[in-house]
Amino acid sequence: MPKAKYDTIYRDLKEKIETECFSYQELLPSEHTLVQEYGCSRNTVRRALAELASDGYVQPMQGKGVRNIFQPITQTSFTVGGIESFLESALRNHQKPRTKILQFAELETGEKISRRTGFPLGTQLFYLQRLRYLDDVPLILDHNYFLKELMPGLTPEIAEHSIYEYLEQTLGFTITTSKRTMTVERVTQVDETYLDMNDYNCMAVITSQTFNADGIQFEYTQSRHRPDHFQFQDVAVRKKPG
Amino acid sequence: MPKAKYDTIYRDLKEKIETECFSYQELLPSEHTLVQEYGCSRNTVRRALAELASDGYVQPMQGKGVRNIFQPITQTSFTVGGIESFLESALRNHQKPRTKILQFAELETGEKISRRTGFPLGTQLFYLQRLRYLDDVPLILDHNYFLKELMPGLTPEIAEHSIYEYLEQTLGFTITTSKRTMTVERVTQVDETYLDMNDYNCMAVITSQTFNADGIQFEYTQSRHRPDHFQFQDVAVRKKPG
DNA sequence: AATTTCAACATGTTTAAACAAATTTAGGGG
DNA sequence: CCCCTAAATTTGTTTAAACATGTTGAAATT
Protein backbone atom coordinates (compact mmCIF):
# COMPACT_ATOMS: atom_id res chain seq x y z
CA MET A 1 0.00 0.00 0.00
CA PRO A 2 1.88 3.08 -1.09
CA LYS A 3 0.49 5.81 1.12
CA ALA A 4 3.31 8.23 0.46
CA LYS A 5 2.20 11.73 -0.39
CA TYR A 6 4.25 11.98 -3.55
CA ASP A 7 2.73 8.74 -4.78
CA THR A 8 -0.79 9.99 -4.16
CA ILE A 9 -0.05 13.17 -6.09
CA TYR A 10 1.61 11.16 -8.86
CA ARG A 11 -1.41 8.92 -9.28
CA ASP A 12 -3.83 11.83 -9.13
CA LEU A 13 -2.00 13.80 -11.81
CA LYS A 14 -1.51 10.68 -13.91
CA GLU A 15 -5.22 9.99 -13.93
CA LYS A 16 -6.01 13.60 -14.75
CA ILE A 17 -3.66 13.41 -17.70
CA GLU A 18 -5.06 10.09 -18.91
CA THR A 19 -8.62 11.37 -18.73
CA GLU A 20 -7.52 14.44 -20.65
CA CYS A 21 -8.17 17.05 -17.98
CA PHE A 22 -5.15 18.61 -19.65
CA SER A 23 -5.04 18.64 -23.42
CA TYR A 24 -2.00 17.56 -25.44
CA GLN A 25 0.75 20.20 -25.33
CA GLU A 26 -0.97 22.13 -22.55
CA LEU A 27 1.03 23.34 -19.55
CA LEU A 28 0.25 21.80 -16.18
CA PRO A 29 -0.28 24.11 -13.20
CA SER A 30 3.05 25.45 -11.94
CA GLU A 31 4.82 23.75 -9.07
CA HIS A 32 3.87 26.67 -6.85
CA THR A 33 0.20 26.17 -7.69
CA LEU A 34 0.37 22.42 -7.12
CA VAL A 35 2.01 23.00 -3.75
CA GLN A 36 -1.03 24.99 -2.70
CA GLU A 37 -3.50 22.56 -4.27
CA TYR A 38 -2.05 19.53 -2.54
CA GLY A 39 -0.90 21.27 0.62
CA CYS A 40 2.62 19.91 0.56
CA SER A 41 6.17 21.05 -0.04
CA ARG A 42 7.65 21.81 -3.42
CA ASN A 43 10.00 18.83 -3.23
CA THR A 44 7.09 16.45 -2.87
CA VAL A 45 5.35 17.92 -5.91
CA ARG A 46 8.60 17.74 -7.85
CA ARG A 47 9.02 14.08 -7.03
CA ALA A 48 5.59 13.30 -8.45
CA LEU A 49 6.35 15.34 -11.57
CA ALA A 50 9.68 13.57 -12.02
CA GLU A 51 7.90 10.22 -12.11
CA LEU A 52 5.44 11.46 -14.69
CA ALA A 53 8.35 12.68 -16.79
CA SER A 54 10.04 9.28 -16.67
CA ASP A 55 6.74 7.75 -17.78
CA GLY A 56 6.83 10.01 -20.82
CA TYR A 57 3.64 11.74 -19.67
CA VAL A 58 5.06 15.24 -19.25
CA GLN A 59 8.06 17.26 -20.27
CA PRO A 60 9.43 19.80 -17.79
CA MET A 61 10.89 22.94 -19.40
CA GLN A 62 13.11 25.17 -17.32
CA GLY A 63 11.68 28.66 -17.05
CA LYS A 64 8.53 27.75 -18.96
CA GLY A 65 6.53 25.09 -17.21
CA VAL A 66 5.63 21.43 -17.48
CA ARG A 67 4.05 20.33 -20.71
CA ASN A 68 1.64 17.45 -21.17
CA ILE A 69 2.94 15.16 -23.94
CA PHE A 70 0.67 12.19 -23.26
CA GLN A 71 -1.12 10.68 -26.22
CA PRO A 72 -3.53 7.78 -25.73
CA ILE A 73 -2.33 4.66 -27.50
CA THR A 74 -4.31 2.53 -29.87
CA GLN A 75 -3.38 -0.98 -28.81
CA THR A 76 -4.45 -3.76 -31.10
CA SER A 77 -2.16 -6.49 -29.84
CA PHE A 78 -0.84 -7.84 -26.56
CA THR A 79 1.17 -4.98 -25.06
CA VAL A 80 4.07 -5.52 -22.69
CA GLY A 81 5.12 -2.63 -20.49
CA GLY A 82 6.44 -2.69 -16.93
CA ILE A 83 6.85 -5.75 -14.73
CA GLU A 84 3.57 -7.59 -14.89
CA SER A 85 2.33 -11.10 -14.51
CA PHE A 86 0.60 -12.70 -17.47
CA LEU A 87 -2.64 -12.41 -15.53
CA GLU A 88 -2.23 -8.67 -15.00
CA SER A 89 -1.22 -8.04 -18.60
CA ALA A 90 -4.21 -9.96 -19.89
CA LEU A 91 -6.63 -8.00 -17.75
CA ARG A 92 -5.08 -4.69 -18.80
CA ASN A 93 -5.38 -5.75 -22.42
CA HIS A 94 -9.00 -6.82 -21.84
CA GLN A 95 -8.35 -10.40 -22.84
CA LYS A 96 -9.27 -13.70 -21.22
CA PRO A 97 -6.18 -15.44 -19.82
CA ARG A 98 -5.62 -19.19 -19.51
CA THR A 99 -2.52 -21.20 -18.72
CA LYS A 100 -1.64 -24.80 -19.49
CA ILE A 101 1.31 -26.42 -17.74
CA LEU A 102 3.41 -28.41 -20.18
CA GLN A 103 6.25 -29.25 -17.83
CA PHE A 104 6.94 -28.96 -14.12
CA ALA A 105 10.34 -30.21 -13.03
CA GLU A 106 13.19 -29.60 -10.64
CA LEU A 107 16.83 -29.32 -11.59
CA GLU A 108 20.21 -28.15 -10.43
CA THR A 109 22.13 -25.61 -12.49
CA GLY A 110 25.09 -26.90 -14.42
CA GLU A 111 27.77 -24.81 -16.08
CA LYS A 112 25.67 -24.04 -19.14
CA ILE A 113 22.36 -23.15 -17.49
CA SER A 114 24.16 -21.17 -14.83
CA ARG A 115 25.83 -18.93 -17.38
CA ARG A 116 22.66 -18.49 -19.39
CA THR A 117 20.28 -17.77 -16.51
CA GLY A 118 22.57 -15.85 -14.16
CA PHE A 119 21.97 -18.24 -11.25
CA PRO A 120 25.06 -19.44 -9.38
CA LEU A 121 26.36 -22.91 -10.14
CA GLY A 122 24.66 -25.74 -8.26
CA THR A 123 21.47 -23.81 -7.50
CA GLN A 124 18.22 -25.77 -7.04
CA LEU A 125 15.57 -24.57 -9.47
CA PHE A 126 12.05 -25.24 -10.60
CA TYR A 127 11.75 -25.50 -14.35
CA LEU A 128 8.38 -24.86 -15.92
CA GLN A 129 7.06 -24.79 -19.41
CA ARG A 130 3.76 -23.00 -19.73
CA LEU A 131 1.48 -22.36 -22.65
CA ARG A 132 -0.46 -19.09 -22.42
CA TYR A 133 -3.85 -18.59 -24.06
CA LEU A 134 -5.48 -15.25 -24.73
CA ASP A 135 -9.16 -15.46 -25.59
CA ASP A 136 -8.60 -19.21 -26.02
CA VAL A 137 -5.85 -18.81 -28.61
CA PRO A 138 -2.39 -20.13 -27.64
CA LEU A 139 -0.03 -17.20 -28.18
CA ILE A 140 2.84 -17.36 -25.70
CA LEU A 141 5.19 -20.13 -24.65
CA ASP A 142 7.03 -19.53 -21.38
CA HIS A 143 10.13 -21.24 -20.11
CA ASN A 144 10.52 -20.36 -16.42
CA TYR A 145 13.32 -21.01 -13.98
CA PHE A 146 12.48 -20.19 -10.36
CA LEU A 147 14.75 -20.27 -7.33
CA LYS A 148 13.41 -23.24 -5.36
CA GLU A 149 14.92 -22.07 -2.09
CA LEU A 150 12.61 -19.07 -1.94
CA MET A 151 9.40 -20.89 -2.84
CA PRO A 152 9.69 -24.55 -1.81
CA GLY A 153 5.91 -24.92 -1.80
CA LEU A 154 5.38 -24.13 -5.48
CA THR A 155 2.93 -26.49 -7.19
CA PRO A 156 1.56 -26.93 -10.70
CA GLU A 157 -1.79 -25.66 -9.39
CA ILE A 158 -0.21 -22.37 -8.33
CA ALA A 159 1.72 -22.14 -11.58
CA GLU A 160 -1.49 -22.57 -13.52
CA HIS A 161 -3.02 -19.55 -11.83
CA SER A 162 -0.38 -16.93 -11.08
CA ILE A 163 3.02 -17.41 -9.51
CA TYR A 164 3.43 -13.69 -8.93
CA GLU A 165 0.18 -13.51 -7.02
CA TYR A 166 1.33 -16.45 -4.90
CA LEU A 167 4.68 -14.84 -4.23
CA GLU A 168 3.29 -11.44 -3.37
CA GLN A 169 0.06 -12.36 -1.61
CA THR A 170 0.89 -15.65 0.07
CA LEU A 171 4.61 -15.44 0.68
CA GLY A 172 4.76 -11.67 1.25
CA PHE A 173 7.41 -11.43 -1.41
CA THR A 174 8.34 -8.09 -2.96
CA ILE A 175 9.24 -8.08 -6.63
CA THR A 176 11.32 -5.13 -7.70
CA THR A 177 13.70 -5.09 -10.64
CA SER A 178 13.61 -6.98 -13.92
CA LYS A 179 16.35 -6.88 -16.54
CA ARG A 180 14.93 -7.78 -19.92
CA THR A 181 16.24 -8.49 -23.35
CA MET A 182 14.10 -8.49 -26.47
CA THR A 183 15.19 -10.50 -29.48
CA VAL A 184 13.70 -12.19 -32.51
CA GLU A 185 14.47 -15.88 -32.86
CA ARG A 186 13.67 -18.70 -35.20
CA VAL A 187 10.68 -20.87 -34.49
CA THR A 188 11.57 -24.12 -32.75
CA GLN A 189 9.97 -27.52 -32.94
CA VAL A 190 8.24 -26.90 -29.61
CA ASP A 191 6.86 -23.53 -30.75
CA GLU A 192 5.34 -25.09 -33.83
CA THR A 193 3.85 -27.93 -31.83
CA TYR A 194 1.86 -25.70 -29.54
CA LEU A 195 1.30 -22.46 -31.43
CA ASP A 196 -0.39 -21.88 -34.74
CA MET A 197 2.41 -20.03 -36.48
CA ASN A 198 0.67 -19.58 -39.83
CA ASP A 199 3.85 -19.36 -41.85
CA TYR A 200 5.83 -17.15 -39.55
CA ASN A 201 9.28 -18.57 -38.99
CA CYS A 202 10.18 -16.19 -36.12
CA MET A 203 9.20 -15.55 -32.54
CA ALA A 204 9.36 -12.38 -30.45
CA VAL A 205 11.38 -13.42 -27.43
CA ILE A 206 11.68 -11.65 -24.08
CA THR A 207 14.21 -13.04 -21.65
CA SER A 208 14.17 -11.60 -18.16
CA GLN A 209 16.03 -11.85 -14.91
CA THR A 210 13.87 -10.73 -12.01
CA PHE A 211 15.00 -9.73 -8.53
CA ASN A 212 13.21 -9.48 -5.18
CA ALA A 213 13.52 -6.71 -2.62
CA ASP A 214 16.68 -8.27 -1.18
CA GLY A 215 18.38 -8.02 -4.56
CA ILE A 216 18.25 -11.79 -5.00
CA GLN A 217 17.49 -13.07 -8.47
CA PHE A 218 14.60 -15.49 -8.10
CA GLU A 219 13.51 -15.90 -11.72
CA TYR A 220 14.85 -16.38 -15.18
CA THR A 221 12.25 -16.54 -17.91
CA GLN A 222 12.20 -16.84 -21.64
CA SER A 223 8.86 -15.75 -22.99
CA ARG A 224 8.22 -16.62 -26.63
CA HIS A 225 5.43 -14.63 -28.30
CA ARG A 226 3.70 -15.20 -31.60
CA PRO A 227 4.83 -12.21 -33.65
CA ASP A 228 1.43 -11.04 -34.80
CA HIS A 229 0.17 -10.54 -31.26
CA PHE A 230 3.17 -8.93 -29.70
CA GLN A 231 3.96 -5.35 -28.80
CA PHE A 232 6.54 -3.93 -26.41
CA GLN A 233 6.37 -0.33 -25.22
CA ASP A 234 9.05 1.85 -23.74
CA VAL A 235 9.89 5.46 -22.94
CA ALA A 236 13.51 6.55 -23.07
CA VAL A 237 15.05 9.78 -21.85
CA ARG A 238 18.16 11.08 -23.51
CA LYS A 239 21.19 11.62 -21.33
CA LYS A 240 23.59 14.22 -22.51
CA PRO A 241 26.82 12.71 -23.74
CA GLY A 242 29.67 13.48 -21.42
CA MET B 1 27.63 19.35 -20.24
CA PRO B 2 26.15 18.15 -17.01
CA LYS B 3 28.30 19.59 -14.27
CA ALA B 4 25.78 18.91 -11.54
CA LYS B 5 27.19 17.27 -8.44
CA TYR B 6 24.70 14.42 -8.39
CA ASP B 7 25.56 13.63 -11.97
CA THR B 8 29.27 13.52 -11.22
CA ILE B 9 28.66 11.16 -8.32
CA TYR B 10 26.32 9.06 -10.45
CA ARG B 11 28.91 8.66 -13.19
CA ASP B 12 31.69 7.94 -10.72
CA LEU B 13 29.73 5.22 -8.93
CA LYS B 14 28.50 3.81 -12.23
CA GLU B 15 32.02 3.43 -13.49
CA LYS B 16 33.15 1.87 -10.24
CA ILE B 17 30.36 -0.66 -10.53
CA GLU B 18 31.09 -1.41 -14.17
CA THR B 19 34.77 -1.96 -13.45
CA GLU B 20 33.79 -4.24 -10.59
CA CYS B 21 35.21 -2.20 -7.73
CA PHE B 22 32.18 -3.71 -6.02
CA SER B 23 31.48 -7.38 -6.59
CA TYR B 24 28.05 -8.75 -7.47
CA GLN B 25 25.73 -8.77 -4.45
CA GLU B 26 28.11 -6.65 -2.39
CA LEU B 27 26.77 -3.67 -0.43
CA LEU B 28 27.88 -0.22 -1.49
CA PRO B 29 29.17 2.19 1.15
CA SER B 30 26.30 3.62 3.18
CA GLU B 31 24.81 6.98 2.27
CA HIS B 32 26.48 8.46 5.31
CA THR B 33 29.87 7.25 4.13
CA LEU B 34 29.29 8.50 0.59
CA VAL B 35 28.30 11.90 1.95
CA GLN B 36 31.71 12.16 3.58
CA GLU B 37 33.55 10.73 0.58
CA TYR B 38 32.00 13.17 -1.87
CA GLY B 39 31.64 16.10 0.50
CA CYS B 40 28.01 16.77 -0.25
CA SER B 41 24.59 16.45 1.31
CA ARG B 42 22.69 13.22 1.74
CA ASN B 43 20.04 14.28 -0.75
CA THR B 44 22.63 14.66 -3.45
CA VAL B 45 24.03 11.20 -2.82
CA ARG B 46 20.53 9.78 -2.79
CA ARG B 47 19.75 11.32 -6.15
CA ALA B 48 22.77 9.61 -7.68
CA LEU B 49 21.81 6.30 -6.09
CA ALA B 50 18.24 6.64 -7.36
CA GLU B 51 19.52 6.93 -10.91
CA LEU B 52 21.69 3.85 -10.51
CA ALA B 53 18.66 1.98 -9.22
CA SER B 54 16.58 2.95 -12.23
CA ASP B 55 19.43 1.70 -14.42
CA GLY B 56 19.16 -1.67 -12.70
CA TYR B 57 22.68 -1.30 -11.32
CA VAL B 58 21.82 -1.33 -7.62
CA GLN B 59 18.99 -2.28 -5.34
CA PRO B 60 18.38 -0.14 -2.26
CA MET B 61 17.11 -2.08 0.78
CA GLN B 62 15.60 -0.18 3.66
CA GLY B 63 17.53 -0.79 6.87
CA LYS B 64 20.13 -2.93 5.13
CA GLY B 65 22.01 -0.95 2.53
CA VAL B 66 22.37 -0.67 -1.22
CA ARG B 67 23.25 -3.85 -3.07
CA ASN B 68 25.15 -4.07 -6.31
CA ILE B 69 23.15 -6.17 -8.80
CA PHE B 70 25.08 -5.25 -11.93
CA GLN B 71 26.18 -8.09 -14.17
CA PRO B 72 28.24 -7.39 -17.29
CA ILE B 73 26.37 -8.34 -20.43
CA THR B 74 27.64 -10.55 -23.19
CA GLN B 75 26.51 -8.69 -26.28
CA THR B 76 26.86 -10.58 -29.52
CA SER B 77 24.46 -8.53 -31.61
CA PHE B 78 23.50 -4.91 -32.17
CA THR B 79 22.12 -3.74 -28.84
CA VAL B 80 19.58 -0.96 -28.55
CA GLY B 81 19.28 0.79 -25.21
CA GLY B 82 18.52 4.44 -24.47
CA ILE B 83 18.06 7.21 -27.02
CA GLU B 84 21.02 6.96 -29.33
CA SER B 85 21.84 7.82 -32.89
CA PHE B 86 22.89 5.00 -35.18
CA LEU B 87 26.40 6.42 -35.08
CA GLU B 88 26.55 6.31 -31.30
CA SER B 89 25.10 2.81 -31.13
CA ALA B 90 27.57 1.52 -33.67
CA LEU B 91 30.52 2.92 -31.76
CA ARG B 92 29.26 1.51 -28.48
CA ASN B 93 28.87 -1.88 -30.14
CA HIS B 94 32.36 -1.59 -31.63
CA GLN B 95 31.13 -1.81 -35.18
CA LYS B 96 31.85 0.26 -38.27
CA PRO B 97 28.82 2.35 -39.27
CA ARG B 98 27.84 3.39 -42.78
CA THR B 99 24.66 4.94 -44.13
CA LYS B 100 23.23 4.96 -47.63
CA ILE B 101 20.40 7.34 -48.48
CA LEU B 102 17.71 5.59 -50.50
CA GLN B 103 15.18 8.41 -50.51
CA PHE B 104 15.11 12.06 -49.51
CA ALA B 105 11.80 13.79 -50.03
CA GLU B 106 9.43 16.38 -48.62
CA LEU B 107 5.77 15.87 -47.95
CA GLU B 108 2.77 17.23 -46.11
CA THR B 109 0.89 15.00 -43.68
CA GLY B 110 -2.48 13.75 -44.81
CA GLU B 111 -5.08 12.08 -42.63
CA LYS B 112 -3.40 8.70 -42.69
CA ILE B 113 0.20 9.70 -42.08
CA SER B 114 -0.89 12.17 -39.41
CA ARG B 115 -2.63 9.47 -37.42
CA ARG B 116 0.22 7.03 -37.79
CA THR B 117 3.07 9.40 -36.98
CA GLY B 118 1.44 11.63 -34.38
CA PHE B 119 2.18 14.84 -36.32
CA PRO B 120 -0.72 17.28 -36.71
CA LEU B 121 -2.54 17.34 -40.03
CA GLY B 122 -0.96 19.49 -42.73
CA THR B 123 2.55 19.45 -41.21
CA GLN B 124 5.54 19.84 -43.53
CA LEU B 125 7.93 16.90 -43.14
CA PHE B 126 11.11 15.47 -44.53
CA TYR B 127 10.80 11.83 -45.44
CA LEU B 128 13.94 9.73 -45.59
CA GLN B 129 14.70 6.16 -46.31
CA ARG B 130 18.12 5.09 -45.12
CA LEU B 131 20.00 1.83 -45.31
CA ARG B 132 22.35 1.21 -42.38
CA TYR B 133 25.47 -0.92 -42.67
CA LEU B 134 27.40 -2.38 -39.77
CA ASP B 135 30.85 -3.67 -40.68
CA ASP B 136 29.76 -3.32 -44.33
CA VAL B 137 26.73 -5.56 -43.95
CA PRO B 138 23.31 -3.93 -44.54
CA LEU B 139 21.29 -4.70 -41.42
CA ILE B 140 18.82 -1.88 -40.74
CA LEU B 141 16.33 -0.05 -42.91
CA ASP B 142 15.11 3.27 -41.51
CA HIS B 143 12.04 5.22 -42.50
CA ASN B 144 12.33 8.71 -40.97
CA TYR B 145 9.88 11.56 -40.78
CA PHE B 146 11.37 14.84 -39.51
CA LEU B 147 9.60 18.09 -38.74
CA LYS B 148 10.83 20.39 -41.52
CA GLU B 149 10.01 23.56 -39.63
CA LEU B 150 12.69 22.86 -37.02
CA MET B 151 15.47 21.90 -39.43
CA PRO B 152 14.88 23.61 -42.78
CA GLY B 153 18.54 23.20 -43.70
CA LEU B 154 18.58 19.41 -43.63
CA THR B 155 20.42 17.85 -46.58
CA PRO B 156 21.17 14.32 -47.79
CA GLU B 157 24.81 14.92 -46.85
CA ILE B 158 23.86 15.56 -43.23
CA ALA B 159 21.48 12.61 -43.25
CA GLU B 160 24.28 10.38 -44.47
CA HIS B 161 26.43 11.28 -41.50
CA SER B 162 24.28 11.88 -38.41
CA ILE B 163 21.13 13.94 -38.11
CA TYR B 164 21.29 13.86 -34.33
CA GLU B 165 24.80 15.27 -34.32
CA TYR B 166 23.61 18.03 -36.68
CA LEU B 167 20.64 18.83 -34.49
CA GLU B 168 22.57 18.86 -31.25
CA GLN B 169 25.91 20.33 -32.35
CA THR B 170 24.92 22.67 -35.16
CA LEU B 171 21.40 23.71 -34.26
CA GLY B 172 21.83 23.59 -30.49
CA PHE B 173 18.85 21.29 -30.29
CA THR B 174 18.12 19.28 -27.15
CA ILE B 175 16.67 15.82 -27.61
CA THR B 176 14.84 14.49 -24.59
CA THR B 177 12.06 11.94 -24.67
CA SER B 178 11.40 9.07 -27.04
CA LYS B 179 8.32 6.86 -26.97
CA ARG B 180 9.08 3.55 -28.61
CA THR B 181 7.18 0.49 -29.66
CA MET B 182 8.80 -2.82 -30.52
CA THR B 183 7.03 -5.25 -32.79
CA VAL B 184 7.82 -8.09 -35.17
CA GLU B 185 6.53 -7.66 -38.69
CA ARG B 186 6.60 -9.52 -41.95
CA VAL B 187 9.37 -8.81 -44.39
CA THR B 188 8.35 -6.40 -47.13
CA GLN B 189 9.45 -6.17 -50.74
CA VAL B 190 11.73 -3.26 -49.84
CA ASP B 191 13.34 -5.16 -46.96
CA GLU B 192 14.17 -8.05 -49.21
CA THR B 193 15.57 -5.79 -51.87
CA TYR B 194 18.17 -4.21 -49.63
CA LEU B 195 18.84 -6.73 -46.88
CA ASP B 196 20.05 -10.27 -47.10
CA MET B 197 17.27 -11.96 -45.16
CA ASN B 198 18.53 -15.53 -45.52
CA ASP B 199 15.13 -17.13 -45.18
CA TYR B 200 13.81 -15.03 -42.34
CA ASN B 201 10.34 -13.79 -43.11
CA CYS B 202 10.19 -11.32 -40.20
CA MET B 203 11.80 -8.06 -39.14
CA ALA B 204 12.36 -6.59 -35.70
CA VAL B 205 10.70 -3.18 -35.89
CA ILE B 206 11.12 -0.22 -33.57
CA THR B 207 8.83 2.73 -34.13
CA SER B 208 9.59 5.85 -32.16
CA GLN B 209 8.24 9.33 -31.59
CA THR B 210 10.95 11.67 -30.35
CA PHE B 211 10.51 15.03 -28.62
CA ASN B 212 12.82 18.01 -28.12
CA ALA B 213 13.26 20.04 -24.94
CA ASP B 214 10.21 22.14 -25.75
CA GLY B 215 8.03 19.05 -25.79
CA ILE B 216 7.62 19.26 -29.56
CA GLN B 217 7.65 16.01 -31.49
CA PHE B 218 10.23 16.45 -34.24
CA GLU B 219 10.70 12.85 -35.40
CA TYR B 220 8.78 9.73 -36.22
CA THR B 221 10.90 6.77 -37.23
CA GLN B 222 10.34 3.19 -38.14
CA SER B 223 13.55 1.24 -37.81
CA ARG B 224 13.52 -2.22 -39.36
CA HIS B 225 16.24 -4.58 -38.12
CA ARG B 226 17.38 -7.91 -39.48
CA PRO B 227 16.32 -10.33 -36.73
CA ASP B 228 19.64 -12.12 -36.31
CA HIS B 229 21.46 -8.90 -35.42
CA PHE B 230 18.97 -7.29 -33.14
CA GLN B 231 18.79 -6.97 -29.39
CA PHE B 232 16.80 -4.58 -27.22
CA GLN B 233 17.60 -4.10 -23.55
CA ASP B 234 15.50 -2.73 -20.78
CA VAL B 235 15.26 -2.50 -17.00
CA ALA B 236 11.84 -2.35 -15.43
CA VAL B 237 10.93 -1.56 -11.84
CA ARG B 238 7.78 -3.02 -10.34
CA LYS B 239 5.25 -0.59 -8.99
CA LYS B 240 3.06 -1.88 -6.25
CA PRO B 241 -0.49 -2.41 -7.39
CA GLY B 242 -2.84 0.04 -5.77
C1' DA C 1 8.70 52.34 -32.77
C1' DA C 2 12.33 49.56 -31.52
C1' DT C 3 15.43 48.13 -28.08
C1' DT C 4 17.17 47.45 -23.59
C1' DT C 5 16.59 46.53 -18.88
C1' DC C 6 14.67 44.62 -15.11
C1' DA C 7 11.31 42.39 -12.24
C1' DA C 8 8.48 38.42 -11.82
C1' DC C 9 8.00 33.75 -12.45
C1' DA C 10 9.19 29.14 -14.03
C1' DT C 11 12.04 24.93 -13.21
C1' DG C 12 16.89 23.00 -11.57
C1' DT C 13 20.32 22.08 -7.86
C1' DT C 14 21.90 21.80 -3.23
C1' DT C 15 21.90 21.92 1.71
C1' DA C 16 19.99 21.03 6.34
C1' DA C 17 17.11 18.96 9.44
C1' DA C 18 13.69 16.04 11.37
C1' DC C 19 11.16 12.00 11.69
C1' DA C 20 9.59 7.20 10.02
C1' DA C 21 10.48 2.42 9.14
C1' DA C 22 13.32 -1.64 8.70
C1' DT C 23 17.39 -4.03 10.05
C1' DT C 24 21.43 -5.08 12.61
C1' DT C 25 24.17 -5.07 16.63
C1' DA C 26 25.25 -5.15 21.37
C1' DG C 27 23.91 -6.15 26.07
C1' DG C 28 21.54 -8.05 29.73
C1' DG C 29 18.74 -11.52 31.97
C1' DG C 30 17.08 -15.85 32.22
C1' DC D 1 23.25 -20.69 25.45
C1' DC D 2 19.07 -18.57 24.04
C1' DC D 3 15.86 -14.80 24.13
C1' DC D 4 14.41 -10.32 24.71
C1' DT D 5 15.26 -5.46 24.60
C1' DA D 6 17.29 -1.31 23.49
C1' DA D 7 20.50 1.29 20.92
C1' DA D 8 22.74 2.13 16.71
C1' DT D 9 22.65 1.99 11.79
C1' DT D 10 20.49 2.23 7.32
C1' DT D 11 17.27 3.68 3.91
C1' DG D 12 12.54 6.27 3.06
C1' DT D 13 9.65 10.53 3.30
C1' DT D 14 8.80 15.28 4.01
C1' DT D 15 9.58 20.05 4.92
C1' DA D 16 12.07 24.48 4.52
C1' DA D 17 15.15 27.50 2.57
C1' DA D 18 18.47 29.42 -0.48
C1' DC D 19 20.47 30.13 -4.76
C1' DA D 20 21.05 29.12 -9.90
C1' DT D 21 19.30 29.31 -14.48
C1' DG D 22 16.10 30.05 -18.09
C1' DT D 23 11.76 32.60 -19.86
C1' DT D 24 8.43 36.12 -20.17
C1' DG D 25 6.45 40.46 -20.20
C1' DA D 26 6.18 45.09 -18.85
C1' DA D 27 8.44 49.27 -17.98
C1' DA D 28 11.98 52.36 -19.13
C1' DT D 29 15.07 54.02 -22.37
C1' DT D 30 16.77 55.20 -26.74
Q: What is the pLDDT of residues B133-160, one digit of tens each?
A: 999 999 999 999 999 999 999 999 999 9
Note whether A22 and A130 are same-domain residues.
no
Q: Tell me what pLDDT residue B58 has.
A: 98
Res. A62: pLDDT tops 60 = yes
Instruction: For nucleic chain C, give residues with Cβ below 7 angstroms from it.
Output: A 28, 30-33, 43, 46, 49, 60-66; B 2, 4-7, 39-44, 47, 61-64
Residue of B nearest to A83 (CA): B238
Q: How many CB atoms lie within 10 A of CB B126?
A: 20
Strand partners, B205: B183, B224
Residue pLDDT, tens place only, B78-97: 778 788 889 988 988 899 99
DSSP 8-state secondary structure symbol assigned to residue A94: T
CA angle B75, A86, A216 (to 5 degrees): 55
Q: How far is B118 from chain A (nearest CA, A)?
A: 9
Positive or negative: CA dihedral A192, A193, A194, A196: positive
Residues A141 and A201 grouped into a single domain: yes
Enumerate the residues of chain A whose CB falls inside 8 A of the CB of residue B88: 241
* Reported confidence tier of residue B217, pLDDT bands at 50, 70, 90: very high
Closest residue (CA) to C1' of nucleotide D11 is B62
pLDDT of residue B1: 56
The pLDDT, as a whole number, for residue A126 is: 98
Residue B238 falls within a domain, yes or no? no
Q: Which domain holds residue A42?
A: 5-68
- pLDDT level of residue B59 (50, 70, 90 thresholds): very high
Same domain, residue pair B135 and B87: yes
Residue pair B99/B159 in contact by the 8 Å Cβ criterion: yes
Residue with more model confidence, B106 or A89: B106
Q: Is B42 within a domain?
A: yes
Distance B118 CA to C21 C1' (A): 45
**How far is A222 from chain B, CA to nearest CA, in Å?**
14
A67 vs B215: CB contact, 8 Å cut-off?
Answer: yes
Q: Which of residues B39, B68, B97 is at a domain's end?
A: B68
pTM for this entry: 0.93
Quick one: average pLDDT of A183-196?
Answer: 97
Domain co-membership, A132 together with A180: yes
CA atoms within 13 A on the CB side of B5: 13
* Three-state DSSP state, B225: strand
CATH of the domain at A198: 3.40.1410.10
Q: If you count them, how many residues does chain A have?
A: 242
What CATH number is given to the structural domain containing B61? Answer: 1.10.10.10
**Looking at the structure, do residues A99 and A203 belong to the same domain, yes or no?**
yes
Q: How far apart are alpha carbons B99 and B97 in whole angstroms?
A: 7
The reply to whether B174 falls in a domain is: yes
What pLDDT is recorded for position B92?
Answer: 86
Does residue A182 lie within any of the structural domains? Answer: yes
User: Are A204 and A178 contained in the same domain?
Assistant: yes
Judged against a pLDDT cut of 80, whether residue A241 lies above it is answered with no
Give me the count of residues in chain B: 242
Task: Kindly determine whether residue B178 and residue A235, on different chains, have CB atoms separated by under 8 Å.
Answer: yes
Torsion of CA A162, A168, A174, A177, to 10 degrees: 20
Give the CA dihedral A87, A91, A96, A102, nearest 10 degrees: -10
Q: In this complex, how many residue pairs, one in chain A and one in chain B, have their CB atoms less than 8 Å apart?
A: 171
What is the average pLDDT across A86-92?
Answer: 89
**Which residue's CA shows the smallest distance to C1' of C22?**
B63
Q: Is residue A73 part of a domain?
A: no
Is A9 inside a domain boundary? Answer: yes
Give A53's contacts in chain B (Cβ within 8 Å).
177
- pLDDT, one tens digit per residue, over A4-31 is 999 999 999 999 999 999 999 999 999 9
How high is the pLDDT of residue A239? 82
pLDDT, mean of residues A186-212: 96
Same domain, B191 and B212: yes
Asked if A1 and B182 come within 8 Å (Cβ–Cβ), the reply is no
| Percent with pLDDT over 70 in chain B | 97
Measured from the CB, is A63 under 7 Å from any atom of strand D? yes
Across the interface, do A54 and B54 touch by the CB < 8 Å criterion?
Answer: yes
- Flag whether pLDDT at A215 surpasses 60: yes
Section B174-195 average pLDDT = 96
Strand partners, A67: A27, A59
pLDDT of residue A77: 75
Q: Are residues B42 and B91 in the same domain?
A: no
Whether residues A215 and B1 touch (CB distance < 8 A) is answered with no
* Same domain membership, residue A163 and residue A84: yes
- pLDDT confidence of residue A148: 96
Establish if A175 belongs to a structural domain.
yes
Is residue B242 domain-resident?
no
Q: How far is CA B43 from CA A43, B3, B32, B120, B159, in A?
A: 11, 17, 11, 42, 43
Q: Do B53 and B108 share a structural domain?
A: no
Q: Is it the case that residue B11 has pLDDT exceeding 60?
A: yes
Nearest to B202 among A2, A54, A200 (CB): A200
Strands of A51-136 (E only): list them.
58-61, 65-68, 78-80, 97-108, 124-134
- Residue B240 CB lies within 7 Å of the nucleic strand D: no
Q: Which helix (H) or strand (E) holds A14?
A: helix A5-18
Asked if A128 and A101 count as a contact pair (C-beta separation under 8 A), the reply is: yes
Q: Which of B45, B68, B91 is the last residue of a domain?
A: B68
User: Are both A34 and A98 inside the same structural domain?
Assistant: no
Position B77 scores a pLDDT of: 74
Answer yes or no: do B135 and B197 share one domain.
yes
- Cβ neighbours around A96 below 10 Å, total: 11
Number of domain units in chain A: 2
Is the pLDDT score of B74 beyond 80?
no
| Domain's final residue, options A18, A33, A68 | A68
Q: Do A238 and B176 make contact, defined as CB atoms within 8 angstroms?
A: yes
Task: Compute CA distances A236 → B54, B70, B80, whole Å.
Answer: 12, 20, 11
